[in-house]
Amino acid sequence: MFVKAKNRIRLITFFGDSEMQTRLFIFVALIFSFSWLAVTADDGDKPAPKDWNQAMKTIQYLSPIDQSLQPAVIYVPESKEPIPLLVTLHTWSGDYRQPAQSRATWCIEKGWALIAPNFRGPNNTPQGCGSELAVADIVAAVEYMKKRTNIDPNRIYLIGGSGGGYASLLLAGRHPEIWAGVSAWVGITDLKDWHAETLAKKLPYAQHLEKVCGGVPGTSPEVDEQYRVRSANTWIHNAAGIPLDINHGIHDGHTGSVPVSHAIKAFNFLAEQDKKISDEEITYFRTERKVPETLRNETEIDPLFKKTPVLFRRISGNTRLTIFDGGHQSAEQAALHWLALQQKGKKPNWSVASGSSTGENQIQNVEK
C-alpha cells in the first residue's frame, strides 16, 4: 500500500506541473500528426481518375511550403534499375485528373515513372497560376517520386501544353537544376500581354488573370508585380543551360487562344544575338500566319509532325524553336521521342525520329 501510494505521489508530482503537461501534450500531438501525414502521403494509393489508364494510381504527397497534402496521378513501374521520370502538367483550366493518355501509355511501354501533379488546380485563383505554392508543389512532386522509387536524376523530364506549356517554361526558369529536358507546347509566356490579347478577343482568360493577380495591369505596382513575377519570360533566362524545346502552331491566336509570338519571344530571351528573331518578323508570324520570306529556308522534315508539318525551326545553344502548321495543338509523340534522347549534363540531342517511328495520336488539340 505504501509503495503504491509513494509511486502515485511521484506520478502526480511529475505530471502535476502545468508546463510539463503542455510539453507532453504537444509532443504526443506531433507524433500522431507526423504519423498521420506519413500514412496519408505514402500509403494512400487510390484508383486512377476516370479516363486514365488504370495502371495509374491517385496519391497524395506533402508539399512542404505550407504542409498541405496535394493530389497527383502517378505510375511506378517495377524495376531494379534507375528509371526516367516524366512530370506531366495539366492545361490552364484543368487539374491533375485531366487525362494524359498518350503520355501514360508511353511510360507504361517504356518503363518510365510518371507523376501528374495538381499544382493548385486551374489557373483562376491566386493560389494557382505560377504562384510560389504552385511552383513548390511541382518541385515537391519530383521529390516524392524520388523517395517512392529509384528515379534516375539524370533523366527527369517535364512536359505540358497550353497552361501546362506555360508552367513548363516557368519551371524551366525557376528550377533548371531539376530537368534533363523540357518540352513546352503553345504556352503563355507573358501574362500582361496575354491579358490584353484575350480581353480583345472577349475570352474568359483575362478575367482569370485579374482574379489571380488582383486586378487589371496598371491597377497598382503590387498588381503589376504579380503579372511580372508569375510570367515565364521573367525567369526563362535561367533555362539557358538545359535542353529546352519550344513549340507553337502558327495559327494559334486566330484559331486558338495563345498567339505564336509568345513562343518566339521566349526563344529570343535565350537565343544568341545573331539567332534572335526581329520584332518585324514576329509581327509577320502573328498577323499573317506565315513564315517571313527571310526565314523560309529554316525548316526541317520531321516525320512526327506529319499532320502539321514544321514550317520554321531554329536552334540556339540548348534551345530549339519549332513553328508548325497548326493551331493550339501538341505533337505528343514528337515531344516524347525528343525527351527520351536527353540526359542531364549533356548537350541536347536534336535528332529527328525515323519515319517508321510515328506512333499514334501524333497531333492533339490542347484544351485551354
pLDDT tens, residue by residue, 169-209:
999 999 999 999 999 999 999 999 999 999 999 999 999 99
State the pLDDT confidence band at 4, using cuts at 50, 70 and 90: very low
Report whether pLDDT(83) > 60: yes
CA gap 364, 295 in Å, rounded:
27
Report whether pLDDT(344) > 80: yes
Is residue 215 situated within a structural domain? no
Average pLDDT, rounded, for the chain: 89
- Choice between 4 and 187, residue whose per-residue pLDDT is larger: 187
* The pLDDT value given to residue 19: 52
266 and 300, same domain (yes or no)? yes
C-alpha cell belonging to residue 245? 524545346
89 and 155, same domain (yes or no)? yes
Is residue 222 situated within a structural domain? no
SS3 per residue for 179-212: CCEEEEECCCCCHHHHHHHHHHCCCCHHHHHHHH
Q: How many residues does the chain have?
A: 368
27 and 61, same domain (yes or no)? no
Give backbone dihedrals phi and psi of 178, rounded to 5 degrees, phi first: -85, -40
CA distances from 241 to 112, 154, 305 (A): 24, 14, 26
Domain that holds residue 60: 49-190+231-365
100 and 147, same domain (yes or no)? yes
State the pLDDT confidence band at 44, using cuts at 50, 70 and 90: confident
pLDDT in tens, 110-153: 999 999 999 999 999 999 999 999 999 999 999 999 999 999 99
30 and 67, same domain (yes or no)? no
78 and 21, same domain (yes or no)? no
Count of domains in the chain? 2
Residue 157: name the closest of 229, 87, 232, 221 by CA. 87
Report whether pLDDT(302) > 60: yes
Cβ-based neighbour number of residue 24 at 10 Å: 13
Is residue 145 situated within a structural domain? yes
State the pLDDT confidence band at 353, using cuts at 50, 70 and 90: confident
29 and 58, same domain (yes or no)? no
Is residue 57 situated within a structural domain? yes
210-237 residues labelled b (16+ CB within 10 A) or e (exposed)? bebbbebbeeeeebbebbeebbbbbbbe
Report whether pLDDT(36) > 60: no
Is residue 212 situated within a structural domain? no
300 and 248, same domain (yes or no)? yes
Mean pLDDT, residues 296-318: 96
Report whether pLDDT(359) > 90: no
CA gap 26, 18 in Å, rounded:
12
- Give residue 337's Cα distance to chain centre: 18
* The pLDDT value given to residue 15: 39
61 and 17, same domain (yes or no)? no
Mean pLDDT, residues 25-35: 41
56 and 30, same domain (yes or no)? no
C-alpha cell belonging to residue 101? 493518355
- Which residue, chain included where needed, has cell 482574379? 211
Report whether pLDDT(327) > 60: yes
28 and 60, same domain (yes or no)? no
* The pLDDT value given to residue 365: 67
Report whether pLDDT(18) > 70: no
Report whether pLDDT(241) > 50: yes
Report whether pLDDT(91) > 50: yes
pTM recorded for the entire structure? 0.86
25 and 119, same domain (yes or no)? no
CATH number at residue 267: 3.40.50.1820
Is residue 224 situated within a structural domain? no
Is residue 226 situated within a structural domain? no
CA gap 183, 349 in Å, rounded:
13
Is residue 258 situated within a structural domain? yes
